[in-house]
Structure formats: structure tokens, C-alpha cells
Amino acid sequence: MKSTPFTSKHIALGAKMAEFAGYNMPISYTGINDEHAAVRNNAGVFDVSHMGEFILKGENALDLIQRVTTNDASKLTNGKAQYSCLPNEKGGIVDDLLVYCIEEGKAYMLVVNASNIEKDWNWIQQFNTKNVEMHNISDKTCLLAIQGPNATKILQPLTDMDILNLKYYTFTKGTFAGVENVLVSATGYTGAGGVEIYFEDKDGDADKIWEAIFAAGKEAGIKPIGLGARDTLRLEKAFCLYGNDIDDTTSPLEAGLGWITKFTKDFTARNIIEQVKTEGAKKKLVGFEMIDRGIPRHDYKIKDAAGNEIGKVTSGTQSPSLQKAIGLGYVVSEFSSFDSEIYVEVRDKLLKAKVVKVPFL
């Protein structure tokens, strides 16, 4: 198992550790519900250094990104980021990712899922026919997500960069906690506000930044947060998790990602995805809440009242904020409208649920 520069800190703090995407990662410290509430109401720190980062540079960098992603990266100016996905040749999703514009038209950073680093690199590389300079900086890049309504207020004294007023999906670069070349972006996977900070671990910089953040946030009660709460937080906001809610077999349109699929440019499998748009998706990713008591789990079958299988659960949990069981799942389109009655099969019992609007919170 790989470690991040913060692994020893998680262990010292008593975190429950487990393997995730080949890394020894913290799942929880004081409990998922406690950590979830800390982020929703105050601020918490996630170590997400296992994520992948690629730098694409050169005159044809934008051309390559446009070819391999569904969103329109030509709209990006310096200091802006966008959510996008890499479609495969059958119209499924290789991965979802963030695209950061470092220098308009010439330099970009792509942030990909930890379990897909090699897969994504190889996928993009095969389309690199115009000598775009590609650098996989994943192993030397640290990433901390400081999330929650009080996150930027706690962090602002550590930098001259104006992070208090950083607009959603923009970023800035400068000195943070005495460390140079730190990229701070108003992005995250919780929907609770806050920032993500990227930096290289040189000369003990990872320790320096970690200690500075917790010293600055001590009085405010900032907490370290594990991947367990990261999952419940993102699910309340109906953010897709690759491998659960989206994968190589799901179309961006089936997954409700039409908003990042721009047919104003050419990209891999554009004609296939456009056909889905024209004909209408046969299945759709929906949010639902349980009416009967029970918690939906990944891969549980979704059925109609007569017991016919109409889909499956992709993500589910007991929402700490809402105090009710919620889930995401694919269902045949006829059952995708709001208030549709569906049933989740839990231990051979059909438990009633209904389709609701997302995000849940």
C-alpha cells in the first residue's frame, strides 16, 4: 500500500485506516456522523493526496483537451477550472475530472480519480498526436481539501492571496503558510464551501502546511475528516462517485451530466452520445429517499410494485444531515420522474422509496 505525506499523522491521530485506490487512507477519526457535521457546520480537513494530477503544456494542449473531454475547455481563462469527463469510444465514461487553466490555450492541469491515474494517462496519451508535453505529477503533488462554511475564514490569515472572495471554480497561486507555489482553488466534493490546496512536498512543506492549518483552526474547532464522511457529504449533494454512479458503461446523459456535455465541438464518441440525446436515455440516474425503513446499498436491485427489476442502487446511506435514508440509482426512464414509486430489494424484502429532486440538501 502507498502512503501520502500525511499517513503517519492520520495514524497518530487514531484514525481508522483502510486501503483505498492502493493507498493507506483514513476512513474516520471520531466517527462519520461527527465528522460530517463538522464539515457541514464548521470546517474539516481531508487528505486527498491520492488523487491524480497531470500537466498538459504546449501550443496544442487545448486541442488535445477538447478532443478527449466533453466540456468546452476553450471557455476557460487563466485562473478558472471546470468539471468535465473523458468519454470512451462507446460513449461511456473513462473518468470524471477537473480541468484547471494555468495559461490560456497553453498550460492546463487535469485532476483525475486516484484509482484511474494510469488508465486516464494512457487514454489521453493515445490521442496525443501533436506532441503536447504531458507530465504526470501525481506522486509529488499533495492535496488537502479544507471544506466547510468557516474554512476560508480560518485559512485567510495564512496567506496574502484573497481566498475569502475566491469565486466557485476559480483558483489562485501564491505563498501559503510560508510555502511558495501553492495553488488554492474554490472547489471540493462536499458542497459545503471551502477550498482545495495543491503543493509539492519539498523540505518538509507538507508537515509545515498541515501544522499551520490546524494551529490556525484550533480555536474554531477545525477537525481532520476521513473518507467515510467525504462519501456521505458528496451523496447529500448528489455528486457522482466514479466506479459507483458512473463508469465505462454509463453515458454522461444517463448520469445527468448533460450540462458538461457540449456538442459545439468534436470529442470522442460525440455521435454516440448525441444519439442518446436525440432518442432519449433508456435509463437515468435518479435520487430517491426511502419511505420504508432500511438503508439502500450499492448494487441493491430496484424494482416496481409488481417485483419487476427496473434498475439498481449505485450509492446509498443514512443521511446524517437529513436523518433519512437516501440513494442514487439508475432506473428505466419511465420511473425517473419525481415522486415515482420504486422499491429497493433489501434482504429479499421490497422496501418502498420515491424519486426526489437532487441535490438532497
Q: What is the architecture, at CATH level 2, of domain 7-50+139-235? A: 2-Layer Sandwich (3.30)
Backbone angles phi, psi at 155, to 5 degrees: -85, -25
What is the per-residue pLDDT for 4? 98
Q: Are 322 and 361 in contact (CB under 8 A)?
A: yes
User: Hey, what CATH class is 238-356 in?
Assistant: mainly beta
Q: What is the dihedral of CA 284, 296, 248, 36, to 10 degrees?
A: 110
Cα(36)–Cα(361) distance, integer angstroms:
13
> What 3-state DSSP class applies to 20?
strand
Average pLDDT over residues 3-9: 98
Cα(161)–Cα(199) distance, integer angstroms:
15
What is the per-residue pLDDT for 290? 98
Cα(326)–Cα(57) distance, integer angstroms:
42
Mean of the per-residue pLDDT values of the chain: 98
Q: What is the architecture, at CATH level 2, of domain 52-136? A: 2-Layer Sandwich (3.30)
Query: In the chain, pLDDT over 90 holds for what percent of residues?
Result: 100
Q: pLDDT digits over 74-84, tens only?
A: 999 999 999 99
Average pLDDT over residues 210-217: 98
Backbone angles phi, psi at 278, to 5 degrees: -70, -45
Provide the residue ranges of all domains of the chain, joining segments of one domain with +.
7-50+139-235, 52-136, 238-356
Query: In the chain, pLDDT over 70 holds for what percent of residues?
Result: 100
Copy the grid coordinates of residue 261: 456535455
Average pLDDT over residues 18-47: 98
> What is the value of pTM for the model shown?
0.97
**Confidence category of residue 18, pLDDT binned at 50, 70, 90:** very high
Average pLDDT over residues 25-34: 98
**Confidence category of residue 316, pLDDT binned at 50, 70, 90:** very high
Q: pLDDT digits over 237-289, tens only?
A: 999 999 999 999 999 999 999 999 999 999 999 999 999 999 999 999 999 99
Q: Are 256 and 285 in contact (CB under 8 A)?
A: yes
